[in-house]
């Protein structure tokens, strides 16, 4: 995965164009994470809430801003995504009042896999500047260009089956759990497994 700000050659932009065309119909995984600093100064990232939805995707860029719209998302997934975003904002406000950085991170991952080629087309973004809902199912986001990364990855059948199992489990959890996800306690990381493998950790080295 490479940040959009790192794309520079004709082949880079050709690859990015291919990714955008593939992601028109894709899966989106929306996750609320917590950045937990280790003793060595590095960060682990803990998944607090997550929802998965299949949708049409529009990605547009204007200057230093990336506009992403997820069309026809599942209504329950849209509601949960809005709740997670409100929780991130609430957490950020509470942390700011204590003179501390927001350790909650809102992450959007989009992926389209082609099993016959063993290839996955991916675009990931974190901490939107703005989010809004259009109707019951569409979700719109504004991200800074710096916070968006893309890539074409090689995947095995095992990877695909694992992701499909996670997607099915997340879908079931979304249907069963539509409660209020208010501000999580500071020790929330003790209740979850840390995840070091999300994108490149340098994207989250200094959560704000």
Q: Domain tally for the chain?
A: 1
In a domain, 198, yes or no: no
Instruction: Judge whether 111 and 125 are in contact, CB under 8 Å.
Output: no
Report the candidate in 42, 50, 29, 21 with the shortest Cα–Cα distance to residue 177: 50
Token couple for 163: 């992701």
- Residue (of 108, 78, 82) closest to 199 by Cα position: 108
Distance of CA 186 to the CA centre of its chain: 22
Domain that holds residue 156: 2-179
In a domain, 129, yes or no: yes
Q: What are the pLDDT digits (tens) for 178-193? A: 444 344 444 333 333 3
**In Å, what is the CA distance from 1 to each residue of 14, 89, 105, 117?**
15, 27, 18, 18
Encode pLDDT of 5-37 as tens digits.
999 999 999 999 999 999 999 889 999 999 998
pLDDT digits 0-9 by tens, 110-155 = 999 887 788 899 999 999 999 987 656 789 999 999 999 999 988 7
In a domain, 73, yes or no: yes
72 pLDDT tier (thresholds 50, 70, 90): confident
Q: Centre a 10 Å sphere on the Cβ of residue 151 and count the other Cβ atoms it contains.
A: 15
Instruction: Report if residue 59 sits inside a domain.
Output: yes
* φ, ψ dihedrals at 189, nearest 5°: -65, -20
- What is the structure's pLDDT at 169? 57
Structure confidence by residue, pLDDT tens digits, 31-58: 999 999 888 888 899 999 999 988 899 9
Residue 201 resides in a domain: no
Task: Give the pLDDT of residue 194.
Answer: 35
Within a domain: residue 33?
yes
pLDDT at 4 over 90: yes
Does residue 189 form part of some domain? no
184 within domain boundaries: no
Alpha carbon 59 to chain centroid distance?
Answer: 14
């Amino acid at each position: 995965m490479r940040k959009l700000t790192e794309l520079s050659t004709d082949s880079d932009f050709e690859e990015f164009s291919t990714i955008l065309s593939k992601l028109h119909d894709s899966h989106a995984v929306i996750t609320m994470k917590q950045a937990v600093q280790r003793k060595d100064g590095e960060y682990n990232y803990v998944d607090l809430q997550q929802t998965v939805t299949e949708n049409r995707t529009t990605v547009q860029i204007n200057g230093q801003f990336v506009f992403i719209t997820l069309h026809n998302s599942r209504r329950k997934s849209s509601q949960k995504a809005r709740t997670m975003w409100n929780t991130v904002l609430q957490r950020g406000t509470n942390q700011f009042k204590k003179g501390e950085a927001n350790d909650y991170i809102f992450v959007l991952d989009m992926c389209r896999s082609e099993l016959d080629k063993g290839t996955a087309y991916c675009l990931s973004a974190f901490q939107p500047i703005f989010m809004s809902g259009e109707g019951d199912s569409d979700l719109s986001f504004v991200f800074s260009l710096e916070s968006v990364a893309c890539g074409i990855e090689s995947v095995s059948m095992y990877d695909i089956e694992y992701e499909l199992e996670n997607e099915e489990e997340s879908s079931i959890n979304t249907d069963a759990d539509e409660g209020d996800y208010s501000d999580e306690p500071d020790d929330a990381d003790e209740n979850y497994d840390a995840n070091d493998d999300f994108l490149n950790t340098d994207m989250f080295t200094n959560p704000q």
